[in-house]
Structures are given as C-alpha cells and as structure tokens.
C-alpha cells in the first residue's frame, strides 16, 4: 500500500512555523523554501520582510496554491528541481520538516551551495528520532509503529539525531552556526530519565532540532 503526502491531516500544508522565526536573519533578500506546501510560511516571510520568495513543492495541488502567493514555485521532486535554480541567488533557504522526506538530503544540501550567495544560510527543522515517546516505545515496548504524521511519519525515509544532523551539514561542506532543540515536551518523564542517566539523555525532550548553517569558505 502506497502512502502520499496527500494523506496528511488538515492544516499540514498551511502550517506557519512561528517557533522558527527566532532563527531567521535580521535581513532577508531572496528566500527559497523547499517543501513550501500551500505557501503559508513563505508568504508570511514575504509580508514580514518584503522579500522575494521562491518555493519548491512536491505535491501539485499544494504547489499551485503556493504559486498564487509566492514569486515563483517549482513543482516536483526537489532532487531534480534544485539544478534549475539560478546560481548564487538565494541568501536564505528554509527546510522546515522536509529533509527527512527526501531519499538523499545530503546531495540536496551539497547542490544548494551553488545556488546560495556567499553568506547565505540554510535554516532547517528536523524531527528528533530520540524524542522520549518514540525512544521509550522502542526501548521498553519494542514498538516502531509508523503513523500518519509526527516523528514516525509513514512518509519519512530518513531519521536523525542531534549529532547526525550536525554531521550531515558538516559533511556537505557547511558550518553549523546554531543548533537547538525546539518544541520541548512539558512531561516530567524525560527530565527524570535524564537525571537518572547522569545527563546523557538531555536531547530526548525535544520533538525537533532547529539548525542554522552556512557554507564553509
């Protein structure tokens, strides 16, 4: 049975990630959002920064909707569409919860280096596979059950930890400027577990990690 991004719950493609705003630079000239959905987040940036905004979206219906809001939208597989982008053009590339959906996010990051200005930055949000609910289900219940959305989203083809995110960027030729856990659980369970394990599990309370990286020169 095949699964598509079209099976997502209402609001999936129009979500505006307010918690990611703190990672944006003070000034933005030209933005590219990979996985722009219906364009809600990118349109928010366009309005807030008065900047030029491009998008790449895999799903045609959502991409056509985004095209009504953004300056230019390419629809299809990002692996091929990256090559069609102008070189040395973007100063901010947004990858919010999209790299884990790609078969080869490593080559995507490598290709993006040619498309970005020298001081350009990639900003990403990536799910944390060691989030305590997922981690505990595997560790204590031997469960690894895929879901319609979330960390074990059925359409995820890559899984990351805080260390593997940093390693991915560094191996692709980037310098990680900011790397921080976001959307922390309010549950006391990960805190207590981390205390019992002498601080080795401080990462398990975060649903995602936000990263800001810049090409090494």
Position 18 scores a pLDDT of 84
Instruction: Tell me the backbone φ, ψ of residue 40, rounded to 5 degrees.
Output: -60, -50
Position 3 scores a pLDDT of 47
Q: Which helix (H) or strand (E) element contains residue 150?
A: none
Position 94 scores a pLDDT of 97
Position 10 scores a pLDDT of 46
Predicted TM-score of the model (pTM): 0.90
Torsion of CA 66, 70, 76, 78, to 10 degrees: -130
Sign of the alpha-carbon dihedral angle for 161, 97, 217, 110: positive
CATH 3.40.30.10 fits 15-130+157-185+206-215, yes or no: no
Q: Quote the tokens at residue 49.
A: 């920064």
Sign of the alpha-carbon dihedral angle for 204, 208, 212, 216: positive
Q: Where are the domains of the chain?
A: 15-130+157-185+206-215
Q: What is the pLDDT along the chain (217 residues), one digit of tens a residue?
A: 334 554 545 444 546 678 898 999 988 999 999 999 999 999 999 999 999 999 999 999 999 999 999 999 999 999 999 999 999 999 999 999 999 999 999 999 999 999 999 999 999 999 999 999 999 999 999 999 999 999 999 999 999 999 999 999 999 999 999 999 999 999 999 999 999 999 999 999 999 999 999 999 8
């Amino acid at each position: 049975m095949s699964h598509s991004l079209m099976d997502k719950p209402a609001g999936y493609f129009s979500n505006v990630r307010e918690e990611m705003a703190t990672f944006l630079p003070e000034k933005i000239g030209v933005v590219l959002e990979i996985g722009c959905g219906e364009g809600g987040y990118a349109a928010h940036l366009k309005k807030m920064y008065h900047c030029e905004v491009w998008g790449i979206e895999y799903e045609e219906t959502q991409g056509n909707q985004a095209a009504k809001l953004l300056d230019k939208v390419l629809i299809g597989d990002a692996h091929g569409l990256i090559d069609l982008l102008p070189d040395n053009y973007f100063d901010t590339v947004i990858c919010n919860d999209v790299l884990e959906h790609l078969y080869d996010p490593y080559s995507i990051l490598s290709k993006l280096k040619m498309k970005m200005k020298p001081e350009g930055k990639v900003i990403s949000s990536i799910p944390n596979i060691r989030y305590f609910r997922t981690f505990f289900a595997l560790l204590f219940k031997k469960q690894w059950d895929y879901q319609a959305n979330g960390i074990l989203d059925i359409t995820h083809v890559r899984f990351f930890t805080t260390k593997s995110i940093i390693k991915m960027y560094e191996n692709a030729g980037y310098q990680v400027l900011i790397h921080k856990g976001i959307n922390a659980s309010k549950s006391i369970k990960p805190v207590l577990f981390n205390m019992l394990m002498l601080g080795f599990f401080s990462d398990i309370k975060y649903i995602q990690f936000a990263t800001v990286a810049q090409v090494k020169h």
